[in-house]
Chain A
Amino acid sequence: MSYQLTIEPLNQTIEVEDGQTILDASLRAGIYLPHACCHGLCATCKVKVVDGEVDHGEASNFALMDYEREEGSCLACCATLQSDVIIEAEIEVEADAQNLPVQDFNATVTRIENLTPTIKGIWLSLDQDIQFQAGQYINFHLPNETTSRAFSLASAPAAKNEIELNVRLVPGGKVTTWIHKTLQVGDSIKISGPYGRFFVRKSAAVPLLFLAGGSGLSSPRSMILDLLNEDCTLPITLIYGARSLDELYYHADFTALAAQHSNFTYVPALSNVDADDQMWAGFRGFVHEAAKAHFNNDFRDHKAYLCGPPVMIDACITTLMQGRLFERDIYTEKFFSAADAQQVRSPLFRKI
């Protein structure tokens, strides 16, 4: 049977399977806990158990002292739950995190539109208002099945009972194929959310940089619409890359927004256009190359939000760091999978 684990100071509750360690469950839920050796020797992952019972497992007597056990500490990499548990971990408190509760919604499809040859826009009307932070995602449940998939919310939080998802057809992907081939206007489905800790650090009040590739535009779009709705006056730059012009969606909308708002700059980039193609006057190359050129390799004093395929994220992080913007100012929609916890990874960076 599974128990609930609440992680303070995030005030976030996750499910933990029988025999699953606190560390494994947290990483899978996208919550980074400091860790190193992963087998109870180094004590990097020590956390406080505020309430509930844990089994200390293989924790070394030198890494977790008796007095610490009595005072309610445990090593997250070894500890399993014996009841519902609340832990307090060494996690930065995010002033901008709203920690909104996850809820289940019944949704009706109101509109389906082909945004590009491979991406569909899906509009859902909800049976009750949803509160979310721009950048968060929902889980989309297939009817009569336990399978669900995460999709970022592409619309701004202001429209409370209608949400928009942008779904790319993943070759061989069960859920995206079903959405592309079977889903019809008028269908009812179930979603749950909001999830995720990808949101704008508004309290920092520094210029914002959004780097998006492919269908990774959803979260940045929601974030930018939200900021502009709130009359944000800080400089906002969106660098959005696609292979070709027909894959570049919402291009006209962003061009119009940039014309309306003097603080918003839109830089589209195409990576796969013929050199003699006269139709495209914008940047030719990848997102990170466009960013480097646009900012003249100097990203200092920004906060950057990255969303897109892993190779794009990787190239962008390197480019940002070479342009002197570092981990503390870079945010990605990174999910730590169980494989991440096991693969050889240096502890140099925590969240990127």
Chain B
Amino acid sequence: MDMKVAAKKLGLKERYAAMTRGLDWETTYQPMDTVYPYDKFEGIKIHDWDKWEDPFRLTMDAYWKYQAEKERKLYAILDAFNQNNGHLGVTDARYINALKLFLTAVTPLEYMAHRGFAHVGRQLRGAGARVACQMQALDELRHAQTQIHSLSNYNKHYNGFHDWRHMHDRIWYLSVPKSFFDDAVTAGPFEYMVAIGFSFEYVLTNLLFVPFISGAAYNGDMGAMAFGFSAQSDEARHMTLGLEMIKFMLEQDPANLPIVQGWIDKWTWRGVRMLTIVGMMMDYMLPKRVMSWKEAWEIYFEESGGALFKDLARYGITIPKCVAQATIEKEHITHQAWTTFYQYGAAAAFNTWIPEKEELDWLSEKYPNTFDKYYRPRLEYLGEQAKQGKRFYSTTLPMLCQCCQIPMFFTEPDDPTKICYRESDHNGEKYHFCSDHCKEIFDHEPEKYVQAWMPVHQIYQGNCFKPDVDPTAEGFDPLAAVLDWYNIQFGRDNLDFEGSEDQKNFDTWRQTAKSNG
């Protein structure tokens, strides 16, 4: 009798290979170097794209199905949250300022990540890497969209959410995240993969996501928590893509090692500087705190990052030099940043405040080496002044670091009472930096960083007023004109939380929700 022999079932790897086979054909009408013009100038040598191991094997068909169901769930939760007036369930209205910061600073980066991965996906020759980048490009677009939708409900009730896209391109502190990503997307494709795919998505992502998403959960924000979980289920794919890219470059040619090391050093520091703002949010802006910035740094960088760099050492990669400074600074930067934002609270699109006594106690406990000694007295002094009706607002503009664009408030690594200033000369001009590491980044590529759009310089040059403004007119108020150009409504979006419209509305609405009045 003739027996039907079952064909040997293909493994997942073979099935995926069969589906993606031949997507990286050799072009004949045009030379390959014309079709892929950007993947050689950085000096990265790739000999065999077939050695690329697909970090995940997801097909478009499965991808759509998966994301569609995630969207349905997310929007069901958002609908329920919004219809229930979920915003009144958050710990207190100060929390909502963390969301304003997120929407104006982080959400536009998701969109830039989408653009970056779409671009890089087009420029890499290997089919596996291209497909993975395209998938991530779609994820990032979805993340931007879900965040905008989640937070749009807050825009109905609170100030500061109304023009986040416009603000992202203009406001002084938002130039920090904006310039970070602009730096990455204007690099070559391999540097972009190290900057975003590896340093940001792998080494630093937990420091960004865990505080925000756990912060949302701790503070009763179901909406933000839901988009967080929905995004986190994509993060594993993003991390493995970054890791595979690093391994791939290091295994392809020994000449790639110093280039990759340089990028890891640079982007670890760029990321650490940018995360100052996240650390500040954790320590100061969440009414119910998850963990301190110092604790987060210890768990997610020193422990997890340490394990990673131990493995990378096999390739000859060393832990970035800047980590030593970041480790010292973990006890300082959030306090320095919040004190700065407090003083520039008239020029920010969110409210600022002095922490309450028990919050100061929490900070004293979490930062036993530094808080009582350096920062608590300042905050208490500023709080005392405010109580006497002398709430302090700085009306001058700070010097910015030419690299990270953060105001120069960081102190010397070995002296927390002395502001750290560094400078470099280039073509007869002087450039200022917050640290040795930012200076080094500049010195390596000065032609790139001299082009930076520095918010303070731009204000002084008169580029931050609306077109019909006449700065020579009598009684001209430059700060008011800049805020107008930012589309910050004075007295509503800015200033102290105490006495703000958000504070009053939240209290009134919450009272109304709980009583028959």
Determine if A62 and B311 form an interchain contact, defined as CB atoms under 8 angstroms apart. no
Within 8 A of B (CB), among A30-76: 36-37, 41-44, 60-63, 65-68
Residues in B whose Cβ lies below 8 Å from that of A41: 229, 232-233
Of residues 123 to 165 in A, which have CB atoms within 8 Å of B's CB atoms?
none
Shortest CB distance A78–B (Å)? 14
Interface presence of A93 (CB below 8 A): yes
Contacting residue for A318 out of B240, B243, B307, B314, CB 8 A: B314
- List, in ascending order, chain B residues with CB within 8 A of A37's CB: 236
Least distance between A58 CB and chain B CB atoms (Å): 13
Number of A residues whose C-beta is below 8 Å from B?
Answer: 34
Known contacts A90-B13, A321-B315; A347/B254 CB under 8 A: no
A1 partner residues in chain B, CB cutoff 8 A: none
- Is A349 an interface position by the 8 A CB rule? yes
Check: B155 CB closer than 8 A to any chain A CB: no
Contacts of A101 in B (CB 8 A): none
Give the dominant DSSP class at A's interface: loop
What CA separation (Å) do A90 and B10 show in the bound complex?
11
B66 at the interface (CB under 8 A from A): yes
Residue interface bits A297-317, CB-to-B below 8 A is 1, else 0 = 000000000000000000001
Give the interface centre of B66, B233, B306, B310 by most chain A CB atoms within 10 Å. B233
A326 at the interface (CB under 8 A from B): yes
Which of A9, A61, A348 is most buried by chain B, counting CB atoms within 10 A of its CB?
A348
Question: Does A344 make an interface contact (CB < 8 A)?
Answer: yes
Asked if B65 lies at the interface with its beta carbon under 8 angstroms from chain A, I say yes
| Contact (Cβ within 8 A) B311 A92 | no
A324 contact set on B, CB distance < 8 A: 251, 254
Q: Is the CB of B233 within 8 A of A322?
A: no
Least CB distance from A266 to B in Å reads: 27
Partner of A62, one of B13, B232, B303, B306: B232
Nearest chain B CB to A15's CB is how many angstroms away? 24
Of all chain A residues, the one with the shortest Cβ separation from B247 is A348
Interface range for B: 35 or more
A39 CB to nearest chain B CB (Å)? 11
Q: How far is the CB of A60 from chain B (nearest CB, A)?
A: 6
Contact across chains for B233 and A42 when beta carbons are under 8 A apart = yes
Q: Is A182 an interface residue (CB 8 A)?
A: no
Given contacts A62-B70, A67-B65, A92-B13, contact A36 B239 (CB under 8 A): yes
Per the bound structure, the CA–CA distance linking A195 and B304 in Å amounts to 33
Q: Are A43 and B233 in contact, CB atoms less than 8 angstroms apart?
A: yes
List the B residue with the shortest CB-CB distance to A37: B236
Q: What are the residues of chain A within 8 A of B233 when measuring CB–CB? A: 41-43, 60, 62-63
Asked if A345 CB lies within 8 Å of chain B CBs, one says: yes
Q: Roughly how many angstroms separate A328 CA and B247 CA in the complex, as a whole number?
A: 12
B14: A residues at CB distance < 8 A: 93
Interface residues of A in 319-334 (CB under 8 A from B): 321-322, 324, 326-328
Q: Is A346 an interface residue (CB 8 A)?
A: yes
B473 contacts A by Cβ under 8 Å: no
The reply on B437 being an interface residue by CB < 8 A is no
Query: Smallest CB–CB gap between B187 and chain A, Å?
Result: 23
Given contacts A60-B229, A62-B70, contact A348 B236 (CB under 8 A): no
Q: Which of B57, B70, B254, B308 contacts A348 (CB 8 A)?
A: B308
B487 on interface, CB distance cutoff 8 Å: no
- A42-B236, A92-B11 as given contacts; A62 in contact with B308, CB under 8 Å: no
Most buried by A among B73, B311, B314: B314
A41-B233, A90-B57, A322-B316 given as contacts; is B243 within 8 A of A347 (CB)?
A: yes
- Is the C-beta of B60 less than 8 angstroms from some C-beta in chain A? no
A210 vs B246: C-alpha distance in the bound complex, in angstroms? 28
Give chain A nearest CB distance to B249 CB in angstroms.
12
Residue pair A93, B69 in contact (C-beta under 8 Å): no
* B313 contacts the other chain (CB 8 A): yes
A93/B308 contact (C-beta < 8 A), A41-B233, A63-B233, A322-B316 known: no
- In the complex, whether B459 has a CB less than 8 A from a CB of chain A is no
Which of B1-27 touch A at CB < 8 Å?
9, 11-14
Q: How far is the CA of A88 from the CA of B15 in the complex (A)?
A: 13
Q: Is B424 an interface residue (CB 8 A)?
A: no
The residues of A that contact B251 with a CB separation of less than 8 Å are 324, 326
What residues of chain B lie closer than 8 Å to A321, measured between beta carbons? 314-315
**Given the known A-B contacts A62-B73, A90-B57, A344-B307, are A9 and B314 also in contact in the complex, defined by CB atoms under 8 Å?**
no
The answer to whether the Cβ of B230 comes within 8 Å of any Cβ in the partner chain is yes
Q: How far is the CB of B321 from chain A (nearest CB, A)?
A: 20
Contact B311 A66 (CB under 8 A): no
Q: List chain A residues, Cβ under 8 A from B169.
A: none
Q: Which residues of A contact B66 (CB under 8 A)?
A: 65, 68
* Contacting residue for B314 out of A42, A61, A92, A317, CB 8 A: A317
Contact with B along A210-234 (1 / 0, CB 8 A): 0000000000000000000000000
- Please state if B236 and A43 are interface contacts (CB–CB under 8 Å): yes
Measured in the bound complex, the distance between the Cα atoms of B57 and A88 in whole Å is 14
User: B312 at interface (Cβ–Cβ under 8 A)?
Assistant: yes
Q: Do B11 and A62 touch across chains, with their CB atoms under 8 A apart? A: no
**In contact, A9 and B9 (Cβ under 8 angstroms):** yes
**9 cross-chain pairs, A with B, having the tightest CB-CB distances, nearest first:** A42-B236, A346-B308, A348-B311, A93-B11, A346-B307, A65-B69, A321-B314, A44-B236, A62-B229
Q: List 19 A-B contacts (CB under 8 A).
A: A9-B11, A41-B232, A41-B233, A62-B70, A65-B66, A65-B69, A67-B65, A68-B66, A90-B12, A90-B13, A91-B11, A317-B314, A321-B315, A326-B247, A328-B53, A344-B304, A345-B307, A346-B308, A348-B243
Binding site for A on B (CB under 8 A): 9, 11-14, 53, 57, 65-66, 69-70, 73-74, 229-230, 232-233, 235-236, 239-240, 243, 246-247, 251, 254, 303-304, 306-308, 310-316
Beyond the given A37-B236, A62-B233, A65-B66, please list 16 additional residue pairs across the A-B interface where CB-CB is below 8 A: A42-B235, A43-B236, A44-B236, A62-B73, A62-B232, A65-B70, A67-B69, A90-B57, A92-B13, A93-B13, A317-B314, A318-B314, A328-B53, A344-B307, A346-B307, A349-B311
